[in-house]
Structure 1
């Protein structure tokens, strides 16, 4: 009978400790275990210029190869990866690309489409970064 009581006592102690481990801090100055989302990276005109140049380079490379870009003036960097290339029904050459932009701990990305026009790849819809 004493073994059962000891086992039951240990079980209660275990449950009490397990409950303590899941309690969240509260009150002023308490920190939350859930990190806040990092802010989105926004691009200025100088970032867009560098990204446009990188898009031209990435398009000449292999599909699936990440081509890095960096803007020392703004501290932002990232990469462009061409996902696939092909022709539209009306014969226009287009490509789908993945753009990543980072600054510090913030990271944003976009999947976009660029089409060939006047000898240059032009993104359709510009760059609209999200998380």
Structure 2
């Protein structure tokens, strides 16, 4: 029981260390996490993965990896359907990671000339 109380006290005190001491105390704002940026080789691999994920079906993630940049992730088709003008489109979820940094995007791709083309390209956020 004493060990539990000691651990609880240490955790409580540790939590207080990050709080400002009072009015006028400095507040430390952590630096924003870096985003995962994609280069052309990443986009090429992701595009190929999008094509494979589209063939694999809705809800089945397809992994991708680019050894040249150290990035990896997955593409998952969320749903497919037709637009009002009869165009076949789908929503997809893209995840990209490098080390401990992870970014994601939900995007839309439509079928054009036998290939799925993402509208707006691949734009990742954290």
Superposition TM-score, scaled by structure 2 size: 0.78
Q: 1:111 and 1:23 mapped to 2: Cα distance?
A: 38
Structure 2 residues without counterparts, runs of 5 or longer? 1-8, 21-28
Question: Displacement, 1:55?
Answer: 0.3
1:51 aligns with one of 28, 39, 46: 46
Contact 1:38–1:105 under 8 Å retained in 2: no
Aligned length: 109
Question: Displacement, 1:62?
Answer: 2.1
Alignment partner, residue 105 of structure 2: 110
Alignment partner, residue 61 of structure 1: 56
Q: 2:53 and 2:93 mapped to 1: Cα distance?
A: 11
Q: CA RMSD in A?
A: 2.5
**Is residue 95 of structure 1 aligned with residue 90 of structure 2?**
yes
Q: 2:122 and 2:95 mapped to 1: Cα distance?
A: 11
Superposition TM-score, scaled by structure 1 size: 0.75
Tell me which structure has the larger Cα radius of gyration: 1
Alignment partner, residue 122 of structure 2: 127
Q: 1:88 and 1:81 mapped to 2: Cα distance?
A: 20
**Is residue 80 of structure 1 aligned with residue 75 of structure 2?**
yes
SS in structure 1 at match of 2:84: coil
Structure 1 residues without counterparts, runs of 5 or longer? 1-16, 27-33
Tell me which moved more, 89-98 or 36-45: 36-45
Q: 2:30 and 2:62 mapped to 1: Cα distance?
A: 30
